[in-house]
Structure 1
Amino acid sequence: MIATLLAAALASPSACTPVPGVEALWKNEIRYVVVGEMHGTTETPAAFADLVCAARDKGPVTVALEFSESMQSMLDAFMAAETEQAARAILAAYPHGPFVHHDGRGSVAVLDLLLRLREMQRETPSLKVVAFAPDSPRVQGFNQSYSELDMGHRLATAARKAPDSRMLVLVGNIHAQKKTIESFNLTPAVVHLPSAEVVSLYTVPQGGTAWNCRGEACGANPLPETYDAAARGVVIQPYGNGAFDGVLALGPTTASEPAKP
């Protein structure tokens, strides 16, 4: 009987897998923990879910995902659905977004992340999940930096709505940088947040693959090995000439294909 209960607990979608070095993220002054990823891997959404799982023990949590803000009502319904089948149906019926127009943010791994967050919210009702990518249209003469400004504003707005919460953010690695990217004349979203309240982690390439599109060809593409492939966990040490406060090392990655919710 005890073995059966233990097996059920280990199989729970919300069960935490410890992330080495994670305690460095829970300092009182840190309001935003930002994970900058290369979309389309299996490992990063899974590790992000483990970070959220661990953060719940430290206080209220708001999870911010790089989904269009227009998806919020659908996301709320997904989280509130009575069954997993109903939640999947709600997502499958939504006619727009990354689960229809695939760019790595609508992967099997991201669907698994959403399902885990849904289970966590049942255990921890204070957990909030928000979509923060702006729907604001591009205007001629206004470059990507204006979209980044909108994104930063939406993160700050979500934080103000839950002032006692720590915010965990999963976003593409360009948006997560804490310095202007001079070569692109780009001011990333995280630059607009109070730097002392942000820990931004770069999910370092350690080899493997990611699902993305290059030109008109989409599929599993190789990633470089620019960081020690044996390293694992959170390492707080400036990276990328100060663009990031540290790294999240997950080892060689595997591509995660587009989900069919």
Structure 2
Amino acid sequence: MKRWRWMAGWVIGMALGAANAAPAPVARVEDTAAQIIQHAGDARLIVLGEYHGTAETPRLVADLVERYSRDNAAVRLGLEMPMSENVALARYLRSDGDLDAREALRTTPFWFVKDDQHDGRRSRDMLDLIESIRSLRAQGRDVGVAGYDVETGSSTDNDMRDAAMATHLHQQFNALPPGARMLVLTGNVHAMRSPPADAPPEMQQRTMASHLLDLPLYSVRLEALRGHFWACVQPCRALPLIERAPRDPELSTDQDRQYDLVVFLPGLSVGTLTAP
């Protein structure tokens, strides 16, 4: 619990700006996707650390999958959803994406949480991302999507959860077709290669990404110049980002780096969260 409180405080402290910050503009994700592709190079495991609950990040990820899957390239997407949802995800990918299929997908246990636990991972924007994978697959692309998280409501503490998610991702990565690439969307703390230097000693436990360093990992933090995201900080609500001037992507090769790359979307806005 202490670690969760510190992580939440650190992430929110990095993000919060003035309460009356200007609304985020409609963000163009294409340029950001191109930056990630340019800098990630041949990396076969790209972990994308996000702010939960935005409209733009699922669009960015959909764009990345579309680009990476051109010319018969195999791409798999990992989402921060419980492994138990994978049967429903596979069933949806085989469907024609009609209203009945979409309703069957969004009425599985993952999509039903109490109001104070709605951390932003459940949104119509995420459903649209899953639909984009189904549509690409229907066109003949070699794409897929699966969850890698522990069960919702599990009593597993944060350290055990990060280790378990990494174990699931190891298994999924090792099962990839030869030469396939895997994209993983996760919270930006899970995506850290190492914890921040200013974390208290008792919070220096390993993150999910730190368990994946034996794989060809490329860790990307998805930042934005302005806007809002969704977080649960008594109560769950939209929180503003610090407004920044336009800037280039930030690369790091330091041995103790938190991320390999930080990119900046023009803006973020809160997505359309699904109702319980």
TM-score by structure 2 length? Answer: 0.76
SS of the equivalent of 1:20 reads helix
Query: 1:255: how far off?
Result: 1.0
Query: 1:27: how far off?
Result: 3.1
Query: 1:134: how far off?
Result: 1.9
Of structures 1 and 2, the one scoring higher in RCO (CA 8 A, sep 6+) is 2
For the pair 1:85 / 2:107, whether they are aligned, the reply is no
Structure 2, unmatched stretches of 5+, are: 1-28
For the pair 1:210 / 2:255, whether they are aligned, the reply is no
Retained in 2: the 8 A contact 1:206–1:229?
A: yes
Provide the aligned length of Structure 1 versus Structure 2. Answer: 236
Query: 1:119: how far off?
Result: 0.8
Supply the distance in 2 between the matched residues of 1:54 and 1:149 (Cα, whole angstroms). 30
SS of the equivalent of 1:244 reads coil
Query: 1:249: how far off?
Result: 1.5
One-letter code aligned to 1:55: Y
Specify the alignment match of 2:143 in structure 1: 127
Please provide the CA RMSD for this pair: 2.6
- Specify which of 75, 82, 97 is matched with residue 68 of structure 1: 82
- Specify which of 67, 76, 81 is matched with residue 54 of structure 1: 67
Retained in 1: the 8 A contact 2:228–2:241?
A: yes
Alignment deviations for residues 68-112 of structure 1 (CA, whole Å, 9 cap, x no partner): 111111111122222331221212332x21454521111122122
Change (3 A) 1:163 1:92: closer
- Specify which of 206, 209, 212 is matched with residue 190 of structure 1: 209
Supply the distance in 2 between the matched residues of 1:66 and 1:239 (Cα, whole angstroms). 26
Retained in 1: the 8 A contact 2:120–2:273?
A: yes
For the pair 1:167 / 2:185, whether they are aligned, the reply is no
Specify the alignment match of 1:220 in structure 2: 238
For the pair 1:257 / 2:272, whether they are aligned, the reply is yes
- Specify which of 149, 155, 161 is matched with residue 169 of structure 2: 155
Structure 1, unmatched stretches of 5+, are: 1-15
One-letter code aligned to 1:135: E
Change (3 A) 1:100 1:82: farther
Change (3 A) 1:25 1:77: farther
Change (3 A) 1:244 1:103: same
Supply the distance in 2 between the matched residues of 1:88 and 1:196 (Cα, whole angstroms). 34
